[in-house]
Structure 1
């Protein structure tokens, strides 16, 4: 994959923002940053003393050199100092998107420099952004001040934030990420919002965390947009790039120190590996959701803190679609089995779930029921497994009060943090590899991400699932994940008993 990212932005002579921050942040996420400089600022920790725009001829020469040899997967845009620069960059972006073998994604951080005269207050500048640039932008990342300058909407509450995002999208931006560092609502918290009108439909995401009290926050906007660009270049979905960028900034704010006599820069650190640095996914039923007046769909009531599993290491986890295979696995000593039946009638399901519970007790195994939580409760199942899409429909309070264990599927960092809201009994990560059992387009995680997930969720039993067979089970288990789930590796094996023995050996050899 092409991990080249361009930053088209101004230079900060103080080293805290602009292209200096961009390159450092991109490097933290393992991508190669290239630059096209639009302005030379004379600034230090006390402020901007001069802004010197680069001529369009010089900017174009930089762009032509990069295009001929180092095409970017993502182009991050920062300071554009005048209308001529906006028009030039827009023309080039239009050409790239139309002619490159893979059209680049564009991340735009609309920089406003108040001490030099707001770049976004000139009427012709805002018009050029709306008419020329925004139709080419995949993600725009304004802070609250920049959002208000561009849209004229004062962000007095969540509904105004949504309205402003919709306005920016109406001008062409596909996704809008409004940074809430200057928006003290609710008091003492930093709330960020993302609206993503992708080809998979419109999605909204809210993240929140307590404000990190430090004056040294120079360069947070540049750095956040650069991390988003880096993550998109590596194939992460926007919601994961969003949450990783927030965690990176939180980590950097905690480590920030003063250089000079004024405001110091946010620290450029590394991939965020401390759960305390990650924001909360805000949803209906949570405390922050209530503060933001989120409507609760249906009769949804959030529940958290489900019955713990007996062991943090669940070992080999067989996912089967019939009682036949459920009993064969249990009889061979597989302690964790999930019954996942699709397209069965209600009568067939009830019979199968009741029988599965009985078999689990007979063989002293832990049987989970996929999706059908009502029948699982009725027949006293050991546990139930739900996907992310099921969480708003299931009666989580009833599941919790029944004493059943709850396992939740996750596909990426955002969904992992969302699942964490519920404090489930275990957490499943997938799909680790492509699989034929279901369409996982855009949701393949791979070992690199799995190695990040496991330590972040170390308080939970963790399960890896998706495309795992005997040849891969060992390397998956080596990540430290406590369980490896298989679907076809047992049922399609020529000798299922040997397959189970070999899988258990591969998994347990890493303990």
Structure 2
């Protein structure tokens, strides 16, 4: 199945919201958008002058035509104008989820009130939404007013946002994205929230000062839908959608005499358009009353590596540490699985000694206490370790810190800590670690690198061998990390030489 996304929504004759915005946003993320028109609005930049709902027969014919030939990975729903439309769409969604070989995800933007303040649905639709539609929704993306309309919760602080999300999930919705454009808490900032599978994600950035905001909600939901269709996890779709809207607001302009539409400017490639991940101790966390973890100086960051890391060997023994260093590998990581407590410390001490002997960069995976104790060059941590390790102790000891990232959200989270380098993976499937659901591929790598290369050395890892290394290097990544390409080769010195050549002996 191709990356097809349907938009079931109303048409905006002014071109700024609804179906028109959906198609533009979907195109920006490289998916094919199909449409089912639920209403024809007569509107311009000054407001909505008329709403002409489409008959259920016409909606039915559109749905049937698409289902026969162009089934969707994701179905995005916008305005449903009346109870009959809600019931009809819900009936079809139930059928798709039960019968399609690949049941579609459903993203719902509950368009009840236009950004101009005009009400766009009939009064009796709320009960129908709760009864028929919400139990079928995978991701709902309401703004402040729509959240309050559906839950009765007024969003006066973070706890209220969490409560509203819980109420929506109790109505049957799987995941909730509450848009903060009208929230203004803290004042002068835009904070967005996502609750999914027992996890919560907060994003924040300074509010973008523009009156031209028409179509932001439609565009955010459609960007999320497009990213989900391409296989991105929701937390990545969330942060990409937000970056897309931020960029669009920065370039928005007036067409007509009223409120201008969001600009549609393609995939967000500028790190300045991305929001920051808000977590305990980080930017905006105090304003949101997050608990303070172990003290850490986010602004100071970690010691640098003096440039790109070149060929990066990840090995599980001190013997391989020496083989790689002696063959000219500039960066080596000792990653010991199921370590023997009786030999672990001695192995780490030996690896550090070997790094000094060969003037190589030796990183210790996970065991940061022992790395500090024996004066290692650096430590490599996974995302889960960022909340558990004493980062300030690593920072104060002067060790370099490398961080694994699996997607856009984790990349931006790691960016909070100003590490010494960022590792992106897994680029390809690998037998050394279960990376189910976390394969990034070259397309994502080609986006990661330009976003972060000005700030950090970049490393690609996961399933990279001699056959694919040239393609990985073409993305501009500064380093490739390899495991089996060296340790399982017939001639490790020859493999190292070839890999070094691909990287230009960096």
TM-score between both structures, scaled by the size of structure 2: 0.98
Query: Which residue matches 1:265?
Result: 261
- Residues 234 and 137 from structure 1, CA distance in 2 versus in 1: closer, same or farther, beyond 3 angstroms? same
Cα offsets for 1:382-426 (capped at 9, x unmatched): 000000000011111110000000000000000000000000000
Query: Which residue matches 1:491?
Result: 487
Query: Which residue matches 1:410?
Result: 405
1:346 is displaced (CA, Å) by 2.7
1:300 is displaced (CA, Å) by 5.7
Question: Which residues of 2 match residues 384-423 of structure 1 at below 5 A?
Answer: 384-423=379-418
1:475 aligns with 2:476: no
Unaligned runs of 5+ in 2: none
Q: Figure out how many residues of one structure are paired with residues of the other and give that number.
A: 504
Whether contact under 8 Å (1:408, 1:427) holds in the other structure is: yes
1:508 is displaced (CA, Å) by 1.4
Distance (Å, rounded) in 1 between the aligned partners of 2:195 and 2:187 = 23
Distance (Å, rounded) in 1 between the aligned partners of 2:481 and 2:305 = 17
SS class of match (2:182): coil
Query: Which residue matches 1:372?
Result: 367
Distance (Å, rounded) in 2 between the aligned partners of 1:302 and 1:148 = 37
Query: Which residue matches 2:223?
Result: 227
Distance (Å, rounded) in 2 between the aligned partners of 1:172 and 1:154 = 20
1:287 is displaced (CA, Å) by 3.1
Question: Which residues of 2 match residues 312-391 of structure 1 at below 5 A?
Answer: 312-391=307-386
SS class of match (1:288): coil
Query: Which residue matches 2:425?
Result: 430
Whether contact under 8 Å (2:215, 2:261) holds in the other structure is: yes
Query: Which residue matches 1:188?
Result: 188
Whether contact under 8 Å (1:286, 1:302) holds in the other structure is: no
- Residues 121 and 9 from structure 1, CA distance in 2 versus in 1: closer, same or farther, beyond 3 angstroms? closer
Question: Which residues of 2 match residues 288-303 of structure 1 at below 5 A?
Answer: 288-297=284-293, 299=294, 301=296, 303=298
- Identify the range of structure 1 (341-350 vs 158-167) with the bigger mean alpha-carbon deviation: 341-350
Cα offsets for 1:32-52 (capped at 9, x unmatched): 110000000000000000111
Whether contact under 8 Å (1:212, 1:254) holds in the other structure is: yes
Cα offsets for 1:249-276 (capped at 9, x unmatched): 0000000000000000000110000000
- Identify the range of structure 1 (345-354 vs 443-452) with the bigger mean alpha-carbon deviation: 345-354
Whether contact under 8 Å (2:303, 2:398) holds in the other structure is: no
Distance (Å, rounded) in 1 between the aligned partners of 2:361 and 2:233 = 34
From 260, 271, 278, the counterpart of 1:275: 271
Query: Which residue matches 1:250?
Result: 246
1:116 is displaced (CA, Å) by 8.2
- Residues 116 and 353 from structure 1, CA distance in 2 versus in 1: closer, same or farther, beyond 3 angstroms? closer
Query: Which residue matches 1:142?
Result: 142
Unaligned runs of 5+ in 1: none
Whether contact under 8 Å (1:90, 1:132) holds in the other structure is: yes
Cα offsets for 1:191-249 (capped at 9, x unmatched): 0000012xxxx111000000000000000000000000000000000000000000000
1:349 is displaced (CA, Å) by 1.2
SS class of match (2:427): coil
Whether contact under 8 Å (2:194, 2:201) holds in the other structure is: yes
CA RMSD of aligned residues (A): 1.3
1:287 aligns with 2:283: yes
